[in-house]
Amino acid sequence: MRIETLPVGMLAVNCYLVWDDNARETLIVDAGDEADRIIEAIRKLSIKPVGILQTHGHVDHILALRSLVDEFAIPVYVHPDEHALYYSPANSLLPWVPAARNLPKPADTPPQAAGLPYAVIHTPGHTPGGVCYHFADAAVLFSGDTLFHGSIGRTDLTGGDMNALLTSIRTKLLPLPANTTVYPGHGPTTTIGEEKEINPFVN
């Protein structure tokens, strides 16, 4: 399993390109912004996008969706509990980032890529429909804004719930194998084992 990390946009959202070397079919995790840069990276790597996986629907994570869907004709997965936020005209960071427009309709089921089996873990708290994507065979978790290195996602925005977030992390993420590498929505990677040791929010 190969992973290319592209920090994009004014909030440096980690957009991930994930593929298996044999099949080259690629999943894009969190199409934050700078679609042209993402497309350029895909071309240079000679990989084939087959779908986009959104960890949640905040505007800083979805600004490249329309362009990527138009370019590659691929489906987008957003958890059903996230659709209201995804489409909300209030989903913005004004005055810096207006709400996204002409967003693609989410697929009913998560797209699949050859050689990349994964599970969707619903982790409400940062947002109602926030999810993590667990690639157990590779010991990899894409955590979005649920879990960061030494921190957790904010819950002061619409739909945020601190109790729900802590429950999600403690009951669904921390039980994963300690060697699981966590690829968050912002900032550096970590591991489940490290977060059990050093994260003040979940200990």
Mean residue pLDDT of the chain comes to 97
Angstrom distance (rounded) from CA 139 to CA 78? 23
The answer for 126, left when phi > 0, alpha when psi is -120 to 50, beta otherwise, is alpha
- Number of domains making up the chain: 1
pTM above 0.85, yes or no: yes
Residue 203 lies in a domain: no
pLDDT of residue 121: 99
Angstrom distance (rounded) from CA 134 to CA 196? 18
The total of other beta-carbon atoms located within 10 Å of residue 192's CB is 22
β-strands 131-135, 190-191 pairing: unpaired
Which DSSP category does 93 fall into? B
Strands (E), 9-87: 13-19, 25-29, 48-53, 76-77
Residue 73 tokens read as 């004709």
Query: Mean pLDDT lowest for which of 47-61, 87-101, 129-143, 183-197?
Result: 87-101
Which residue segment(s) compose the domain that 73 sits in?
A: 2-198
Q: What would the pLDDT profile of 70-84 be if each residue is shown by its tens digit? A: 999 999 999 999 999
pLDDT of residue 203: 84
Cβ contact 21:2 at 8 Å: yes
CATH code of the domain in which 154 resides: 3.60.15.10
The average pLDDT across 52-64 equals: 98
25, 56, 74 from 37: Cα distances, Å: 19, 21, 17
9, 40, 70, 131 from 192: Cα distances, Å: 27, 32, 36, 16
